[in-house]
A and B are shown apart, each in its own frame.
Chain A
Amino acid sequence: MAFYTYPQFVFKVSKYCNLRCDYCYEFPHLGDKSRMSLEQIQAAFQNIKSSIAELALKGADFVWHGGEPFLIPIEFYEEIDRIQKNIFGSEFKCVNSVQTNLTVLTDRHIEFLESGFFKGVGVSFDVYGDQRLDTKGRSRTNTVRANMRKLIDHQIKFTAIAVLARDSLPDIKKIYRFFDNLDIKHRILAYYRSVGSEQAQRHGLDFDELVGAYKDLFHEWLGSERATPVAPIKDYVRYAVRHVTSVDNDRFDRSSSERIFIINVNGDFFNLVESYEPEFCYGNLFDSPLREIAKSESRVRSITLSDERMRRYCHSCPYFGSCPGVFVANATSVERQLLETSGCPVRAMLDHIVDVFKRTDLNDYILESYKADNGASAKPQPVLSIA
């Protein structure tokens, strides 16, 4: 089975966190201080390195994730930098990034961030919703704002992720405006993985709530003079533009394009879809070469299930090919339930965006832009129903 040539490995260095966000899918483990050792990380690097030729790897992204990765001393990451350079040398491209709640940001952190080891810094910040509480139940929102200011003052670029869940739903427009005003590219991440049905009840969104929030987000972006990109709206607009211009040759194939993998604290290797489900563990990166993990039976089984979902939801969808079907292919159990009960929220969003294109001058503008750049006329699309 093929393996994507530029994979991304999300290292769960430790689950330990100073926050207790109630929607967190790691919630039961947030007090656990155990973490990967440098020897284990070195073994993981070696198990990737030994598979470069067979898997035709061109490079790799490493996302240092938690828990809160900035609770771990900076010296740990300096050692990782040294080990990584020793093992991979300069020929193999390694790009490191970190996802932090930004509640801890000392001068030492600033100094290390300025050194450039982390090429990407992602800040987890909801802005609204009051979910970002510490272990004593105190909101850390003001601390995060102050630390964002520090990053900006030091010209350290960062992106952001805000969780869209029950508490933040009413403030979705204000969340976009916050990041838009600061020109911060961000991602609105709908609650997508639960640690149990009670948590899902408290924080999960139904289909109408989710699509309604995405529509609000789309219109905030569309009307903003800064129009700061926001995922997933940026992707949905791109799919809609492709649909208008009849570009329909992008169909996601997990067997060759599966790219993101989670390495748990104990080295267990998971996909994005069935993370932490033992029956879908691909192997252990501390113990086994990546080339063996890539061929695992559980990977084949998971991809077969993705293919079945895509046959069910995507193959009859008028947008398939313009939309690659990633949402369906990578749907977690929370998202699969949404698909089962109400259908595909991406399809509903594309109905809406394509309709907005038609109700404004954007449809003609897209076709003119496409013709100007491609020297060919695009086929007009039939009218679609509105979600």
Chain B
Amino acid sequence: MKTFSVITEAGLGTDAHMSADANSGKELVGGDNIAVSEKAKRQIGSQASEEKTPANFVEGFPEFGDGPT
């Protein structure tokens, strides 16, 4: 996990920073300007052959909802 010096409201920095960041490294696919990143695409590809997990199993999460905290 990465560490950062300050966690601001926007995560790392300002919205402007994130906007520039979010637009880098994307691949535009198709005629509708739908942005698809390489990493999202790889995740989709790997899911095509993924082993089934129990239907209500969400890996890595305390599954139950938020509760009162």
- Which positions in A face B, CB cutoff 8 Å? 4, 8, 10, 12, 15, 17, 19, 21, 24-27, 30, 61, 63, 65-69, 97-101, 120, 122, 124, 127-128, 141, 145-146, 148-149, 152-153, 155, 157, 159, 161, 163, 174, 177-185, 187, 189, 192-193, 219, 221-227, 229, 231, 234-235, 237-238, 241, 244-245, 250-252, 257, 259-260, 262, 272, 324-326, 330, 356, 359-362, 365-367, 369-370, 372-374
Contacts and interface: CB of A to CB of B under 8 A. Distances in A.
A360 B29 CA distance: 5
Given A241-B44, A252-B56, A259-B56, A182 B49 contact: no
Q: Is the interface of B mostly helix, strand, loop or mixed?
A: loop
A93 to B, nearest CB: 15
Contact of A366 (B26, B45, B61, B66): B45
Contacts of B37: 222-227
Nearest to A126: B66
Given A66-B69, A259-B54, A359-B30, A152 B62 contact: no
Nearest to B35: A223
B28 to A, nearest CB: 9
A333 B46 CA distance: 35
Contacts of B44: 237, 241, 362, 365-366, 369
A182 B39 CA distance: 16
A159 B62 contact: yes
Interface string B22-65: 10111001111011111111011111111010111110111111
Nearest to B55: A324
B68 A159 contact: no
Contact of A260 (B18, B24, B34, B56): B56
A48 B40 CA distance: 41
Contacts of B26: 223, 225
A124 B67 contact: yes
19 contacts: A12-B67, A63-B63, A66-B68, A67-B69, A120-B62, A141-B9, A145-B8, A152-B1, A161-B61, A163-B66, A181-B21, A219-B35, A227-B43, A231-B61, A241-B44, A260-B64, A359-B31, A359-B32, A360-B29
B16 interface: no
Given A237-B47, A238-B50, A359-B31, 5 more contacts: A145-B7, A177-B11, A184-B1, A234-B58, A362-B44
Pick the 6 closest A-B CB pairs, nearest first: A373-B49, A223-B35, A181-B11, A324-B55, A26-B68, A101-B69
A122 B7 CA distance: 18
A69 B50 CA distance: 35
B41 A225 contact: no
A361 B30 contact: yes
A181 B65 contact: no
Contacts of A234: 58
Nearest to A158: B1
Contacts of A30: 68
A16 to B, nearest CB: 9
A255 B43 CA distance: 32
Nearest to B58: A231
A367 B8 CA distance: 41
B34 A369 contact: no
Contact of A257 (B1, B2, B55): B55
- Which of A179, A181, A260 has the most B CB atoms < 10 Å from its CB? A181
A226 B58 CA distance: 20
A25 B39 CA distance: 37
B11 A250 contact: no
Contact of B69 (A17, A128, A177): A17
Nearest to B65: A189
B53 to A, nearest CB: 9
B62 A219 contact: no
Contacts of B56: 252, 257, 259-260, 324, 326, 330
A289 to B, nearest CB: 23
